A and B are shown apart, each in its own frame.
Chain A
Amino acid sequence: MQLEPRVQLQIRVFFFFLRFLSPITSVLFGRSFPIGERNIMAMEVTQVLLNAQSIDGAVRKNAEESLKQFQEQNLPVFLVSLSGELANEEKPVETRKLAGLVLKNALDAKEQHRKFELVQRWLSLDSNAKSQIKACLLKTLTSPVSDARSTASQVIAKVAGIELPHKQWPELIGSLLSNIHQLPAHAKQATLETLGYLCEEVSPDVVDQDQVNKILTAVVQGMSSSEGNIDVRLAATTALYNALGFAQANFSNDMERDYIMRVVCEATLSPEVRIRQAAFECLVSISSTYYEKLAPYIQDIFNITAKAVKEDEEPVALQAIEFWSSICDEEIDILEEYGGDFAGDSDIPCFYFIKQALPALVPMLLETLLKQEEDQDQDEGAWNIAMAGGTCLGLVARTVGDDIVPLVVPFIEENISKPDWRQREGATYAFGSILEGPSPEKLIPLVNVALTFMLSALTKDPSSHVKDTTAWTLGRIFEFLHGSVVDSPIISQANCQQIVTVLLQSMKDTPNVAEKACGALYFLAQGYEEMGPSSPLTPFFQEIVQSLLTVTHREDAVESRLRTAAYETLNEVVRCSTDETAPLVLQLVPVIMMELHNTLEGQKLSSDEREKQGELQGLLCGCLQVIIQKLGSSETTKYVFMQYADQIMGLFLRVFACRSATVHEEAMLAIGALAYATGADFAKYMPEFYRYLEMGLQNFEEYQVCAVTVGVVGDISRALEEKIVPYCDGIMTQLLKNLSSNQLHRSVKPPIFSCFGDIALAVGEYFEKYLMWAMSALQSAAELSTHIAGDDELVEYTNSLRNGILEAYSGIFQGFKNSPKTQLLIPYAPHILQFLDGIYMEKDMDDVVMKTAIGVLGDLADTLGSHAGSMIQQSVSSKDFLNECLSSEDLVIKESAEWAKLAIGRAISV
């Protein structure tokens, strides 16, 4: 056989690399066969794939290692071999499945940066290899082995997800659909499934309407009753769920929409429960995607859902309730956004479906409330029809407000005192559910009647279910009807004592009830937040704190997140405390410190124990953070608190030392608060703390930790001012590294820029050292963020990026002010003005950016003075933008603008 030179070369390369494989792999890859001329030769991978699933750990590990090496050494052959394995009907099903899975993992990853790498890698892969792989995948769709088909479906979708946006593999959809009617049922099912995965994987804008039409036609036909095969119908129904996002145009066409809706509604009546469930899932998705198109069908849908809620199996009934919850979500959004005023300017009007359905909907939901499961409150993962119905009832109350009250009150009155716990619990849950939405005027008379009853039920009802729901309902009462928002208080001097007593007593109940009681106390305290110098809780403060601490020590406190709830409530009680109880808050400091100290005692913990320790340390550090912030906010208490500063800092450092590679987010947050309270004295902790600060900045994996640490760098800069200089080299180097990393979550980058500003402001002209680097990073980010193209999320991100950049500029300008080195900034001024003009011209900045931007204009003028006079005068910002800000309704913007005007006035008058 005469091979073409290119193939010869490939073979030579391949054998060349084979020589470098370890003995095991060369044994494994011993047999090779060509798939065809001009093709890449696949390797035999069956054995290594079997080994990779071996129960023998050592064998498995070896196999995994071999696969890894193979992948690294020759990716095209590796992938071609896997696809060959998947397509080969002679191979065992488990190796075919695993081959598909490994192939899939070579195309996609969870982490954004890894995903990006894999996409680039695939795109640059040899095109012969790619077409061989695709051919194998498509061929597998007709395999009689269902696992092989299903795996191939998913891999095809992944490849499509990479290639379609790049206008590659244009023939895919056509070839999938070309002969769908002639296919045997199992291949048809696989094709529909592939279309479903494909729609899930790619965004609608990369598929032509023409192709969308073909997909929808095939899918809807597959769903219709004329399709005899249940698996095909199910695959089609599931595929429609994913394809709905592609059907904008089709839903705008009355005939097509009617057809789709008819088929979906018919499918909800299918004898096959999985099809009914999938069809309701479609309805739920339609309710949010095509809310505005639902009016003609809503009556029919109500009938269908009502029947399902009443009679159908739970998974179906849950979807039917979810449909109405989803409609509530839509209407709440619309009503919130437009405040009930749809005079022309809203995209989507409110159709008041819930209001219209109310007389039938509410009884349907109330009925579900009585279908509770025993012990549902103890089961974290529980979700049943009573829970779904109650949740939906709460959403209905938020949607319609007062109108729900008369429909629910008779149900409450009828059931609240019945001997059956289900009735009492259902009535209480109904009451708790409608507390958000209706007006206080409507609810307060009810609450005034119910409060005493509830307090009594919380302690005396024999059913734990009823007590749980009662405590939750009390929490809702305090959350929505207690505090400065309400004109006529529901809590008086007289019943406050009783409420506190009952809640504290209830904290000794079972963990789930105690947790709800803590929650109620949380909102009780919160309602007194703005009370002025004296809080009605003051007389009980000591007792409340003592009870909460007792709860945290309960043996069963880890259940129902009781311990977390107790600390969170303690935090809120401290936050909302007044000067009167400051001495008591101060007494709490050594208590919590001792608790934290105790967590540090354990030695040689198992990983499970270590996790628990970290969690408890988090709660304690969180509590200390709240206390530090509270006591640090007034000069007198801060002064007394400072006696503990050294010890607290010592504990935080030990918390850090407990772990090898990560820093504790809560401890970091607490240190930020401590630095703010301590001021320049914080310098004494820096030598020891610095390495953890650096560690936090390097934590790309847990980006929240990194973000929190960046914030703390800001706190420390402000606290230490020029004393931070010795640490600046390290911090700035790390921050610049973070900025250039594509592994770090993007949300951390704007705060890093702000942090540049904090540092520059703290160290003044010493920042000169970093000026060039910082300015160049700022400049490229500024260029990127001038124009926004994308969805709301991207707009929001871009604005936060702009804000960070602008805060950096502000800090740098103010830091250099009155320094002889001011002139170093002059070369950057044109670009900064250009950036300001640029974002002004885009007209899409939010108020925060506007305020910061106009401030930067002022800072530039203030610091550079006459050096920048003519530059400023030439900028659009100094005229139109400034004027716009000067006439802003937002006082903060206006004030910044007035400052800028002053500074500019000075700069150009000199």
Chain B
Amino acid sequence: MAPHDLRRPFKRAAISDQQKRRDLSLLRQAQNRRDAQQQARCLASSILSLQSSAPESEPEQSDIEIETEHDSEDLSKDLDVRRASKLRGPEVRKWFARQLMLPEWMIDVPDRLSQDWYVLARPAGKRCFVVSSNGTTVSRQRNGSILHYFPSALPAGAKTRDGSGSAQSYCILDCIFHESDQTYYVIDMVCWNGYSLYDCTAEFRFYWLNSKLEESGACNVPSHYHKFRFSAVPVYNCDQSGLYAAYSGAVPYVKDGLLFYNKHAHYQSGNTPLVLVWKDETCSQYVIDTDGKGEIPSQQQVVLELQDGRKLVTSDDPPVIFCCLDGDIIEKSGLQSGNLLRFAIGHGGLSFVDGKLENADLIYLGKSNRARAFADSYSKVIFQFMVRHSPLKIDDLLASINSPDDQEKVPIDIEMVG
């Protein structure tokens, strides 16, 4: 029974620096372990497949212009978004251009609109991908060109002191930049803080978008570290009241039609029938396509791609063949396979049999603007054709939505009002 020692620490700081060094080391190791884990979790889930040529690029080579002439067959590599966002030159433009999910035009009303679809009023402006990583934010337009290069409150979007610019995290948002209030309206969320949402349903992406965007402070008014405001767009279940709210409700931006999202659809690059766009004069200033001067041409114009065998096709996958081009035009104008060509639709118009395009009266106008990356999609051509002849009206949409009785039975999904 040893007498217990009474002595207490006297005039000694309670801390031991050696213990502090040990603790700080452990802390650093734990943090590094978390970072490594986090990076592993994010990295692999964000790898996007490059369908065409994709030169492998090391981050440190990012300043070098990537050459486009690569043997694309052998180098079918995966490239992750953060690396891609550092690429320069036409390759990256092409790459980004392929990453956006492009809505088809609504040429008939899908079934179960009120159960399976969301509707939102599309802001007018420049469609772009906003990528935040490594402390900067870059917005790229549909054709891949950079719109802005700026700091933002998105995760990893600015070099702030709190270290939110950590290398592991990044975001990719599908946005429309609305010029008059200088705001990025977020219409979809592709990656958030390193987590990929590609394989998630629209339902989940919108839920995520609404909870995360606000939390991040990206919706705050612009400041030194946050140059542009971001805003979510109100998303409604596409029942009668939702559709009506999207169609005629007041929003802080200029509307350009309505977007319909199938709730179960994943984010998918390129054209998809699971997202649809529809517009009329009430909800859009640009219902009928304008020409280069902003005027409505007397005849509908379409851009189609010339393929082998003189076929003129749309940008759809698989492409829809419109017709075949005369051999002499090809020779006379020196056209090659892959060229995008502009046509007017003549008086013969388009004719359909069993809902399928049977014949098109096309008048060759010339090569399309160099800035164009794609031909028109089939649905766009048809929508524009219908607008000029027998448009799909809002009443048709409302009418197709089930009777109120049916709606009672529909399980109510999350009501999101941004």
* Given A200-B1, A814-B37: A909 and B25 interface contact (C-beta under 8 Å): no
Nearest-Cβ distance from residue A290 to partner chain B, whole angstroms: 17
Closest residue to B196 on the A side, CB-wise?
A: A902
Instruction: Give Cα A757–Cα B45 distance, bound, in whole angstroms.
Output: 19
Is the CB–CB distance between A672 and B11 below 8 Å? no
A391 to B6, CA, bound (A): 11
Indicate if the CB atoms of B199 and A571 lie closer than 8 Å: no
In the complex with contacts A281-B4, A906-B200, A669-B13 CB distance below 8 A = no
B26 at the interface (CB under 8 A from A): yes
Q: Is the CB of B26 within 8 A of A571?
A: no
Contact B33 A516 (CB under 8 A): no
Interface string of A706-720 (1 = CB under 8 A from B): 001001001100100
How would residues 31 to 42 of chain B score, 1 for a CB under 8 Å from any chain A CB and 0 otherwise?
011001100110
Query: Smallest CB–CB gap between A623 and chain B, Å?
Result: 9
Contact A761 B1 (CB under 8 A): no
Q: Report if B204 contacts A (CB, 8 A).
A: yes
Q: Please, how many angstroms separate the alpha-carbon atoms of A388 and B17 in the complex?
A: 25
B386 at the interface (CB under 8 A from A): no
> Is A511 engaged at the interface, CB distance under 8 Å to the other chain?
no
Query: Are the C-beta atoms of A622 and B17 separated by less than 8 Å?
Result: yes
Are A673's CB and B25's CB within 8 A? yes
Knowing A281-B4, A391-B10, A817-B40, say if A669 contacts B33 (CB, 8 Å): no
Tell me if B24 is interfacial: C-beta within 8 Å of chain A: yes
- Tell me if B390 counts as interface (CB < 8 A to partner A): no
- For chain B, which range describes its interface: under 10, 10 to 19, 20 to 34, or 35 or more residues? 35 or more
Chain B residues positioned under 8 Å from A905 (CB to CB): 199-201, 204
Residues of A within 8 A of B32 (CB): 676, 714-715, 718
Which residue in B17, B25, B37 is a CB contact (below 8 Å) of A572? B17
A586 to B196, CA, bound (A): 41
**Chain A neighbourhood of B40, CB < 8 A:** 761, 814-815, 817
Tell yes or no: B347 within 8 A of A by CB: no
Q: Contacting A811 at CB < 8 Å: which of B1, B24, B37, B199?
A: B37
Write out the residue numbers on chain B whose beta carbons fall within 8 Å of the beta carbon of A758: 33, 36
* Bound Cα distance from A669 to B20, whole angstroms: 12
Does A718 lie within 8 Å of B1, measured CB to CB?
no
Residues from chain B with Cβ under 8 Å of A523 in the complex: 13
Please report whether the interface of chain A is mostly helix, strand, loop or mixed according to DSSP.
helix
Which listed residue (A241, A383, A814, A817) contacts B10, Cβ 8 A? A383
- Report B396 CB to chain A, min CB distance, Å: 33
Q: How far is the CB of B183 from chain A (nearest CB, A)?
A: 26
Docked CA distance A160–B256 (Å): 88
Q: Mark A41-63, 1 if CB is under 8 A from B, else 0.
A: 00000000000000000000000
Count how many chain A residues have C-beta atoms less than 8 Å from C-beta atoms of the other chain. 73
Q: How far is the CB of B413 from chain A (nearest CB, A)?
A: 16
CB distance from A518 to the nearest CB of B (A): 10
Contacts of A242 in B (CB 8 A): 1
Contact B4 A622 (CB under 8 A): no
Chain B residues with CB under 8 A of A506: none
- Please, which residues of chain B bring their CB within 8 A of the CB of A387? 10
Give the residues from 333 to 374 in chain B that come closer than 8 angstroms, CB to CB, to chain A. none
Taking the complex as formed, is A330 at the interface, i.e. its CB lies under 8 A from any CB of chain B?
no
Report whether A902 and B195 are in contact in the complex, using a CB–CB cutoff of 8 Å.
Answer: yes
Q: How distant is the Cα of A542 from the Cα of B318 in the complex, in angstroms? A: 71
Q: In the complex the two chains form, is B199's CB within 8 Å of A909's CB?
A: yes
B309 within 8 A of A: no
Would A522 and B13 be within 8 Å (CB), given that A714-B33, A909-B199 are in contact? yes
Cα–Cα, bound, A238→B1 (Å): 8
Q: Are B21 and A241 in contact (CB under 8 A)?
A: no
Q: Contact string, B1-15, partner A, CB cutoff 8 A, digits 1/0?
A: 101101111110100
Does B112 count as interface, using CB distance less than 8 angstroms?
A: no
Q: How far is the CB of B213 from chain A (nearest CB, A)?
A: 14
List of B residues within 8 angstroms of A906 by Cβ: 199-200
Whether the pair A761, B17 counts as a contact (CB closer than 8 A) is no
A468–B11 Cα distance when bound, in Å, is 9
Query: B-facing mask of A369-395, CB < 8 A → 1, else 0?
Result: 000000001000111000110110000
**Bound: A902/B195 CA distance, A:** 8
A255 to chain B, nearest CB (A): 28
Among residues of B, the one whose C-beta sits closest to the C-beta of A238 is: B1
A625 interface residue per 8 A CB criterion = yes
B195 and A898: CB pair below 8 A? yes
User: Which residues of chain A are within 8 angstroms of B298 by Cβ–Cβ distance?
Assistant: none
With beta carbons under 8 angstroms apart, the residue of B25, B33, B197 that contacts A625 is: B25
Q: Are B33 and A754 in contact (CB under 8 A)?
A: yes
Q: Is B18 an interface residue (CB 8 A)?
A: yes
A761 and B32 CA atoms in complex are apart in Å by 12
A535 on the B face (CB < 8 A) = no
A672 B29 Cβ-Cβ under 8 A: yes
Interface presence of B251 (CB below 8 A) = no
Which residues of the other chain, B, contact A377 by a CB distance below 8 angstroms?
11
Using CB atoms, name the residue of chain B closest to A522. B13
Q: Is the CB of A519 within 8 A of B1?
A: no
Residues of A688-736 contacting chain B, CB below 8 A: 704, 708, 711, 714-715, 718
Contact A862 B45 (CB under 8 A): yes
Interface string of A314-346 (1 = CB under 8 A from B): 000011001001000000000000000000000
Name, among A318, A325, A810, the residue most crowded by chain B CB atoms within 10 Å (CB to CB): A810
B44 within 8 A of A: yes
Decide: B21 and A325 in contact? CB cutoff 8 A.
no
Residues of B within 8 A of A381 (CB): 7
Residues in chain B near residue A238, CB distance under 8 A = 1
Ordered nearest first, which 3 A-B pairs have the shortest CB separation?
A: A568-B17, A814-B40, A383-B7
19 contacts between A and B (CB under 8 A): A383-B6, A391-B10, A472-B11, A629-B28, A666-B21, A676-B32, A704-B22, A714-B29, A754-B33, A758-B33, A758-B36, A810-B37, A814-B44, A817-B40, A817-B44, A818-B44, A818-B47, A858-B41, A862-B45
Q: Which residues of B contact A (CB under 8 A)?
A: 1, 3-4, 6-11, 13, 17-18, 21-22, 24-26, 28-29, 32-33, 36-37, 40-41, 44-45, 47, 195-197, 199-201, 204
Known: A197-B1, A902-B196. 5 other contacts (CB 8 A): A281-B4, A626-B21, A672-B29, A714-B32, A910-B199
